[in-house]
Amino acid sequence: MINYDLLKDELAKIGVSLDSYGLDRFDAYAERLVRWNKHVNLTAITEPDDIVIKHFFDSLYPLKYVHMNKEQRLVDIGTGAGFPGLPLLIAEPQLEVDFVDSVGKKLAFIKDVLRNSGLLARVVHKRAEEIGRNDDYREQYDYATARAVAPLNALCEYALPLVKVGGLFISLKGETGALELKKAENAIKVLGGEVVKFDEYTLPNGDARSIIIIKKISQTPTKYPRKSKKIDTRPL
């Protein structure tokens, strides 16, 4: 059982509130995460208070800056066990979320949590750069999110092709955020983005985190995203 007051109190500090359905859904999510983790490698974080802070609160931090309170489309890239996309969907259930990961077992976990919580969303078992070349996904999203997936310069090539002009790519990073942002300046420009927010913060347990919000200001040239090997070995 997670500590509801811990989650509520920390979220109140960033201006986010949850109703009792939301809190119960987070509790059920934590319970399933620990249970599934015994058989499928989903997370190293399994203590209830750590799950609340390092997974749930951290995933909801974007809501301090971005009000996702409309029927908008969000794609969570390299979602793993659902972070940050699933907490964002629990907090803002009107969002239309696509969970993308190249590993099917992780998506099976997300489907199980969705089914159990009565939430609707789509899982996409593909690589982000693959769907970035497909018109069913390319420039279709108001938001792309990603946490702990790749260095920012490569990550921008995964994410920005999926975002509509006017939409946002929200990247959650650790203490390397400032350095990664510096190295990604060229990629952001080439892919049609502009940084609108960079913030360094500390989780209640003392861990250093950062958030980078990039607005899509022009269409991504059609030659991007390139094949994965090129993105990783020759980032923009």
Q: How far is the CB of 116 from ligand SAM (least distance, A)?
A: 19
Query: Is residue 209 at the binding interface for ligand SAM, with CB under 6 A as the rule?
Result: no
Q: How far is the CB of 126 from ligand SAM (least distance, A)?
A: 7
Query: Is residue 149 at the binding interface for ligand SAM, with CB under 6 A as the rule?
Result: yes
Of 49, 123, 60, nearest in space to 91 by CA:
60
Sole window of 15-23, 80-88, 188-196, 199-207 interacting with ligand SAM (rule: CB under 6 A): 80-88
SS3 109: helix
Neighbours of 162 (CB within 10 A): 28
Sole window of 76-84, 112-120, 178-186, 208-216 interacting with ligand SAM (rule: CB under 6 A): 76-84
Q: Which of 129, 142, 157, 180 binds ligand SAM (CB under 6 A)?
A: 129
Q: Could you say which residues in the range 155-194 bind ligand SAM, by CB under 6 A?
A: 158
First CA to last CA distance, the chain: 45
Sole window of 14-22, 143-151, 183-191, 197-205 interacting with ligand SAM (rule: CB under 6 A): 143-151
- Whole-angstrom distance, CA of residue 4 vs CA of residue 8: 6
Alpha helices in the chain (DSSP H): 4-13, 20-36, 48-50, 58-60, 85-91, 104-117, 128-131, 152-159, 177-183, 185-190, 228-233
Q: Which of 100, 121, 159, 163 binds ligand SAM (CB under 6 A)?
A: 100
Sheet holding 73-77, edge to edge: 122-124, 96-100, 73-77, 141-147, 163-173, 208-216, 193-202
- Whole-angstrom distance, CA of residue 107 vs CA of residue 158: 19
Binding letters toward ligand SAM, positions 33-72, x by CB under 6 A: ----------------------------------------
The residue among 79 and 117 lying less far from ligand SAM, judged by its C-beta, is 79
Query: Is residue 102 at the binding interface for ligand SAM, with CB under 6 A as the rule?
Result: yes
Residues near ligand SAM, by CB under 6 A: 77-81, 83, 100-103, 106, 127-129, 147-150, 158
